[in-house]
Amino acid sequence: MAPAAVPVAATASELTVSAMKADLAKSTKPQLDASKLTYTFNKHGGVVPALDDPIRREHNSSTDHMLTVKWTEKGGWEAPQLRPYGHLDIMPTASCIHYATQAFEGMKAYRGVDGKLRLFRPDLNCKRMNLSSTRIALPAIDPEQLEELVKNFVSVDCPKWLPNAETFIYLRPAVIASGAALGVQKPREATLFIIAVLFPPMEIMNGMRLLASKEDMGVRAWPGGHGWSKVGANYGPTLQAQGEARERGFDQILWLLGSEGRVTEAGASNFFVVWKNKTSGRLELITAPLGDKIILDGVTRRSVIELAKSRLSHNPTEVLKEVQHLEKLDVVEQSYTIDDIAEAYESGRLVEAFACGTAFFVAPISYIQHEVEKGIEVPMNTTTADGCKSGAYAAAIKTWLKEIMYGKVSHPWGVVINERGAQ
Ligand SMILES: *Cc1c(COP(=O)(O)O)cnc(C)c1O
């Protein structure tokens, strides 16, 4: 007898979104509530290191405070606490240490040219955090309340820790299964926290060199997996390959999928190529699609797509003088392979490539190694105002994003934060 037809399951994110809505609606437990935030200020605050202090390269210096919120299955969300930065109180049996029950976000706070403090599209990070948390059986997190908590945290620590115009600080909201419970089961306790970490100023980058992944390096994400969510479990298993790539003089891995070598992401950044379409000859900005849940729905990726559609496409909704000399393009979210890029390169159709994400911003690509003897020299035909080599499209998009982040233009994506300081 033929096996019964298996019903087509809803996609993972549909399941988690609806699960979240149902959970939130039926839950009688206290919800995450930013208005209950309490403040205990640090009386022994640290010294803010200079922008060129090498300590910033360690990515381990935090600000004076952290924000924590505890959740239990029985009691729901407790009142959020802003308190001095310090250790988290968890036992060696905590689930997050053993089973990767952890999800996180990466955002930045920016100090504008006008002296104001801004976040960039924080609503998108907060929605994604909720999806990631529920993907690994941690509680639903009301995105609006989380956004309010991030804003409160930034408004306390950034007046002191982000003093210089046109600089940023990295924000890391995370949620962990913090309860002592070694059994392999759905967590009954969790801790949500927000910290801020100092980064060195953005380096002048003359193009990243990528090493295309081979099967023996593993795959970052796969159909039906969790590559689309920002959960800690996605990153640990990639670090061995990344370390080897660094030793061989590459900046990042270009993660391919399957024997056909589908291009997915570069390191923990989304990846874009500008080329002339092989059949139509039309200029395209192409990136992997979200539909198959392999790649992360990056806030920067979305912003690049939206800006390219409104300012660089054949039907622009905004006409900007500075890109009038650039050929118009089609924005395409579609699967493509490393061989497609190699072929475009060999036939002179490859225009440029770049990676993008909050951490490394928009990073032009100069080279992709995909076979032992064969590399792709990616063109970088422009020199930007700050002396970087880049493709012209990456340079334009980067400039536009910077203008929004640093308040050179007023734009709904740049959200101004009030400053209260630690008092
Ligand atoms: C965080 C991340 C990105 C970039 O996302 P942004 O929201 O733009 O910062 C891309 N890919 C992966 C795998 C990531 O973890």
Q: What is the DSSP string of 364-390?
A: EEEEEEEETTEEEE----EE-TTS-EE
Fill in the amino acid letter for 101.
T
Q: Does pLDDT of 9 surpass 80?
A: no
Residue-range domains of the chain with CATH: 20-197 (3.30.470.10), 208-390 (3.20.10.10)
Q: Which residue has the higher pLDDT, 23 or 196?
A: 196
Any ligand 1 atom below 6 A from CB of 106 = yes
Q: Over the chain, what HEC string results?
A: CCCCCCCCCCCHHHHHHHHHHHHHHHCCCCCCCHHHCEECCCCCCCCCCCCCCHHHHHCCCECCEEEEEEEECCCEECCCEEEECCCCCCCCCEHHHHHCCEEECCEEEEECCCCCEEEECHHHHHHHHHHHHHHCCCCCCCHHHHHHHHHHHHHHHHHHHCCCCCEEEEEEEEEECCCECCCCCCCCEEEEEEEEECCCCCCCCCCEEEEECCHHHCCCCCCCCCCCCCEHHHCHHHHHHHHHHHHCCCCEEEEEECCCCEEEEECCEEEEEEEECCCCCCEEEEECCCCCCCCCCCHHHHHHHHHHHHHCECCCCCCCHHHCCCCCEEEEECCCEHHHHHHHHHCCCEEEEEEEECCCEEEEEEEEEEECCEEEECCCCEECCCCCEECHHHHHHHHHHHHHHCCCCCCCCEEEECCCCCC
Nearest-CA residue for ligand 1 atom 3 is 269
Distance 153 CA to ligand 1 centre (A): 22
Over residues 226-231, the mean pLDDT reads 95
Mean pLDDT of 31-57: 95
**In 10 A of CB 73, how many CB atoms?**
13
Ligand 1: centre distance to CA 127 (Å): 14
Mutate to test the pocket of ligand 1, among 102, 121, 252, 358 (most ligand atoms within 8 A of CB): 358
Mean pLDDT of the chain: 92
Mutate to test the pocket of ligand 1, among 123, 230, 235 (most ligand atoms within 8 A of CB): 230
Which tokens belong to 39? Answer: 């403040």
Mean pLDDT, residues 148-159 taken together = 98
Nearest atom within ligand 1 for CA of residue 124: 7
Average pLDDT over residues 366-392: 90
Residue 155 has pLDDT above 70, yes or no: yes
Q: Is the CB of 265 under 6 A from ligand 1?
A: yes
The alpha carbon of 298 and the centre of ligand 1 are apart by a number of angstroms equal to 5
pLDDT at 20: 59
- Side-chain half-sphere of 292: how many Cα atoms within 13 Å? 14
- The answer to whether residues 109 and 173 touch, using CB atoms and an 8 Å cutoff, is no
**2 — pLDDT class (breaks 50, 70, 90):** very low
Q: What is the reported pLDDT for 201?
A: 86
Return the residue whose CA atom lies nearest to atom 4 of ligand 1.
357
Give the C-alpha separation, 414 to 401, whole Å: 9
399: amino acid identity, one letter: T
What's the 360 CA to ligand 1 centre distance in angstroms? 10
Predicted confidence at residue 275, as pLDDT, reads: 98
Q: Averaged over 96-122, what is the pLDDT?
A: 98
Q: How far is the CA of 235 from the centre of ligand 1 (A)?
A: 11
Gap between the Cα atoms of 227 and 220, Å rounded: 7
pLDDT at 127: 97
β partners of residue 352: 274
In short, whether 357's Cβ falls inside 6 Å of ligand 1 is yes
User: Which value, to the nearest 10 degrees, does the dihedral of the CA atoms of residues 375, 361, 270, 279 take?
Assistant: -60
- Confidence class for position 17, pLDDT limits 50, 70, 90: low
Predicted pLDDT of residue 11: 45
Split at pLDDT 50, 70, 90, the class of 249 is: very high
Residue 362 banded pLDDT, cuts 50, 70, 90: very high
Which pLDDT value is given to residue 216? 79
Mean pLDDT confidence for 242-261 = 95
Residue whose CA lies nearest to ligand 1 atom number 1: 268
pLDDT of residue 239: 93
pLDDT in tens, 185-196: 999 999 999 999
303 CA: nearest ligand 1 atom:
8
Which of 269, 299, 401 to mutate to test ligand 1, by most ligand atoms within 8 A of the CB atom? 269
Predicted confidence band at 97 (pLDDT cuts at 50, 70, 90)? very high
- Which two three-digit tokens encode residue 179? 């309860």
Pairing of strands 65-72, 81-84: antiparallel
Compute, in angstroms, the gap from residue 174 CA to the centroid of ligand 1.
14
Encode pLDDT of 308-352 as tens digits.
999 999 999 999 988 999 999 999 999 999 999 999 999 999 999
- Ligand 1 pocket check for 267: Cβ under 6 Å: no
The tens digit of pLDDT for each residue in 343-354 reads 999 999 999 999
Check pLDDT > 70 for residue 4. no
Q: Judge contact between 38 and 81, C-beta under 8 A.
A: yes
Structure confidence at residue 22 as a pLDDT band (50, 70, 90) = low
| Interaxial angle between packed helices 122-135 and 299-311, expressed in degrees from 0 to 180 and rounded to the nearest 10 | 140
C-alpha closest to that of 204 among 389, 50, 359: 389
- Write the burial class of residue 147 (CB in 10 Å: 0-12 exposed, 13-18 middle, 19+ buried): buried
For residue 117, give the nearest of 413, 405, 409 by alpha carbon: 405
Q: Is 105 in the pocket of ligand 1 (CB under 6 A)?
A: no
202 CA distance to ligand 1 middle (Å): 17
Q: Is the pLDDT of residue 305 over 50?
A: yes
Ligand 1 centroid vs 59 CA: distance in angstroms?
18
